[in-house]
Structures are given as C-alpha cells and as structure tokens.
Amino acid sequence: MKLQIRLFILWMITFCVVPFENAISRDPGSYCLISDQVIVDSLSQVYGKNKLIPKDFELQCLIVLSHFPELKNTHIEFVIKESFAPLSALPKIGTLFLGGDKRKFQVTISDKSTQYMDPILLKNLPFNAQLGVLGHELSHIVDYLHLSWFELIAVAMNYALNPSYHAWMEKKTDLITINHGLGWGLYTYYKFARSLAAKTPEANWANDYYLHYNEVLFEMQKRPYYNEYFLPNTLFKSRNLSR
C-alpha cells in the first residue's frame, strides 16, 4: 500500500507539476493540492539516501532527484553560501581521486552574489525554473560520475581556458537535463534569465554558453517524452509557459 501511495505521488509530480507550470504557484506553500510534507517525506525515503539537503529547498531538490535514478546512491551535499555563480556542482576535493560510489559531490546554492547575478539566484526564481536549473547541476554530476580523476582535471582546465569547450559542455549538460524530463523547467529558467539579461548587458553571458529557450523547445520536440505537449494548436493555447 505504501508503495502504491509513493507511485501515485510521483505520478502527480511528473505529469502535473513539471510540465504544467500553470498548475504550480510561485509560492512553494501551494503545490498541486497535495501537502508539501507528504511529498517531501515520500520522496526522501526513495531519493534522500546519501543526500544532505537544506530545508529551504528540500522539496525542489527531491523532485529533481526523482528524475535522476542513477544518482540514487550518490553522495551529494547541497550547500547554501555566498558565491558568484548562482549554482555550481563539483566533486568534493577530498574524494576526487576516489572512484565509483565513494566519490562525493557538492552543489553550491548561492544566497548572495553580484548586483546583476542576484536576480537569478535560486531563491529568486519561479518554482519550475528552480527545478530546471537544479536539474542542470545534477546533469553535471551525471556527466562527472564515471570520469577518472585525470579526466575530471582535464575537463576543469578546458572549461576554464577554452570558451568553445565551455559552451559545448554547458549545452551538452542542457541536453542531459532535457533527456531527464526537466525540459519545461529549463525552458522557464532560460526565458526568465534572458528577460533579465535584456535589461542588464553585463548578464548576457548566458547567450554564449547555454541553449536559448527556443532551442530547448526544439530539443524537447525531438524526444518522445514530451510528445503529448506538442500537439497542434495546444502548446501556447493551453499553457502559460512564461510563468
């Protein structure tokens, strides 16, 4: 019976919450008519193993983790602290040379950055955009998971020194996010971020390194998971995708 309840809740999350942004309030206190704590407790039992998650974003992190079953046993710590980048995901230095399930990762959630980055901090995003950008960070971890320490160092150096590699890696990570069923969240995040970047030229870095939100829609249309949301005359008529 408990398993049936969990499956029902996961069904509601997948088919009600993620694709339908108009079904989600920007206020995390209202969530598809189901108690937040019910969802948190259920998801935590299944996807909370080896995870340290701050209470402020517990629901969001667990929903996103439910899209990444391959990370079910991976050690991941979500840390809130001041950082220039709104979010980042990296192996923990002390475990860099370890392999398999022994390697641990840290997702840093910035609570304070520069003036032009503050508007896209996780705490300032619409709920579904939070799911999208967290999914992007977990997609980085999926990408890192099976790399050797030498390959990870090579990735870090290329990322820092080669802008073309940087852009290729981030766009590849966007595709991993879309493949894991979080395309709508990614779409919402990039549309929200670019609306702010249009007002702040210093924030136009997103155009160089990440998919445009229209490219996200294009990639979603190529994947069967999203097929029912691209029926003729239904995409923009029945859903408010900009929220």
* pLDDT one-digit tens code per residue, 53-101: 999 999 999 999 999 999 999 999 999 999 999 999 999 999 988 876 7
Count the residues in the chain: 243
When mean pLDDT is compared across 11-25, 36-50, 69-83, 92-106, the lowest value belongs to 11-25
**Which one is predicted more confidently, 15 or 185?**
185
Q: Is the pLDDT of residue 21 over 90?
A: no
Query: Which pLDDT score is estimated for 39?
Result: 80
**pLDDT, tens digit, for every residue of 25-37?**
333 333 343 556 7
Report the pLDDT value the prediction gives residue 233, as an integer from 0 to 100.
46
Look at residue 222 in the predicted model and tell me its pLDDT: 92
pLDDT at 108 over 60: yes
Judge whether residue 231 has pLDDT over 70.
no
**Model confidence over 173-222: pLDDT tens digits?**
999 999 999 999 999 999 998 887 666 655 566 778 999 999 999 999 99
Distance between CA atoms of residues 111 and 84, nearest Å: 9
How crowded is residue 26: how many other Cβ atoms within 10 Å of its Cβ?
Answer: 12
Report the run of H or E that residue 105 belongs to, with start and end.
strand 104-110
**Residue 140 has what pLDDT?**
97
CA–CA gap between residue 187 and residue 199 (Å, rounded): 19
Q: How far, rounded to the nearest angstrom, does the alpha carbon of residue 42 sit from its chain's CA centroid? A: 20
What is the reported pLDDT for 11?
A: 42
Query: How many angstroms separate the CA atoms of 155 and 151, rounded?
Result: 6
- Cα(51)–Cα(104) distance, integer angstroms: 10
